[in-house]
Amino acid sequence: MARSKKILVVEDESELCSILYADLTSRGYEVELARNGQEGLEKLQVVEPDIVICDRAMPIMSGYQMLERIRGSYPQYKNLPIIFLTALTDPRDKHSVDHLEPSAYLEKPVNLDKLAATITKIFG
Looking only at Cα atoms, what is the longest distance across the chain? 43
Q: Mind listing the pLDDT tens digit for each residue in 42-65?
A: 999 999 999 999 999 999 999 999
39 part of a folded domain: yes
Is the predicted pLDDT of residue 94 greater than 60, yes or no?
yes
| Cα separation values, 60 from 30, 71, 108, Å | 25, 19, 21
Residue 36: domain span: 6-123
C-alpha dihedral, 72 to 38 to 111 to 93, nearest 10°: -50
Cα distance between residue 111 and residue 113, in whole Å: 6
1 part of a folded domain: no
Q: What is the pLDDT of residue 2?
A: 59
Number of domains in the chain: 1
64 part of a folded domain: yes
CATH number (domain holding residue 24) = 3.40.50.2300
pLDDT above 70: percentage of residues in the chain? 98
